[in-house]
């Protein structure tokens, strides 16, 4: 198995439907398994989605355990060489997974990779690349200095504004919306810290 895709769902069945359709297209040429962990949704996700996607492994929880624990439940079942943590409100291109796996094959030291994210209007999402949120980095962002100096290596460090949006870079933080990690890395460092219900809080 090349890839395990893990998606956590909570009351977003229509977003997830579109997401899964794109994921299945992107998995056309690779061996993949898809897990959806549902955090006790009340929007009818189970009756709506289960018949539409028989090839998806759904895990239906009886309570909302949060983002971290839900992902970890699926990680324990994942058998792929790579594990992708993917948000349910995303749509991936048909060649996304193949490109990511190819990148890992050419860059063995890479511990995880993210992607360039685009919103519904076609605009670049700054969350695609981030620095470690040190006190000074977070302060500059909260004070609005990052907005005044969007390309500054110092004041716009939070979203690494000095780095091109169109090139590959080494970064401190990847977005949880799309994060692909080799299984070997997960076995060494572990998965998400379940003490955090939603992993972290934005500054």
Domains and CATH numbers, the chain: 3-114+174-189 (3.90.550.10), 118-171 (no CATH)
DSSP 8-state symbol, 191 = S
**Range with the largest mean pLDDT of 64-68, 89-93, 158-162:** 89-93
Q: Which residue has the higher pLDDT, 136 or 83?
A: 83
Give the pLDDT band of residue 158 (cuts 50, 70, 90).
confident
What distance lies between CA 128 and its chain's CA centroid?
A: 10
- Phi/psi class of residue 102: alpha, beta or left (left: φ > 0; alpha: ψ in -120 to 50)? alpha
CA distance 6 to 76: 11
Give the pLDDT band of residue 161 (cuts 50, 70, 90).
confident
CA distance 130 to 1: 31
Q: Which residue has the higher pLDDT, 198 or 86?
A: 86
């Amino acid at each position: 198995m090349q890839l395990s895709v893990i998606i956590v769902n909570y009351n977003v069945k229509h977003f997830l439907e579109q997401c899964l359709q794109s994921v299945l297209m992107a998995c056309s040429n690779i061996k993949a398994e898809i897990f959806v962990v549902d955090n006790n949704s009340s929007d009818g996700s189970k009756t709506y989605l289960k018949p539409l996607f028989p090839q998806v492994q759904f895990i239906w929880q009886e309570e909302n355990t949060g983002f971290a624990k839900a992902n970890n439940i699926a990680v324990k079942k994942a058998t792929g060489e790579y594990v992708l943590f993917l948000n349910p409100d995303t749509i991936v291109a048909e060649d996304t997974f193949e490109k990511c796996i190819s990148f890992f094959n050419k860059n063995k030291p890479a511990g995880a990779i993210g992607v360039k994210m685009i919103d519904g209007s076609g605009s670049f999402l700054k969350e695609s690349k981030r620095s470690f949120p040190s006190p000074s980095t977070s302060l500059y962002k909260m004070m609005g200095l990052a907005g005044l100096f969007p390309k500054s290596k110092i004041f716009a460090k939070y979203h690494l504004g000095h780095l091109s949006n169109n090139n590959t870079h080494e970064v401190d933080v990847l977005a949880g919306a799309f994060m692909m990690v080799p299984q070997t890395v997960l076995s060494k460092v572990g998965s998400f810290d379940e003490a955090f219900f939603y992993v972290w809080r934005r500054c």
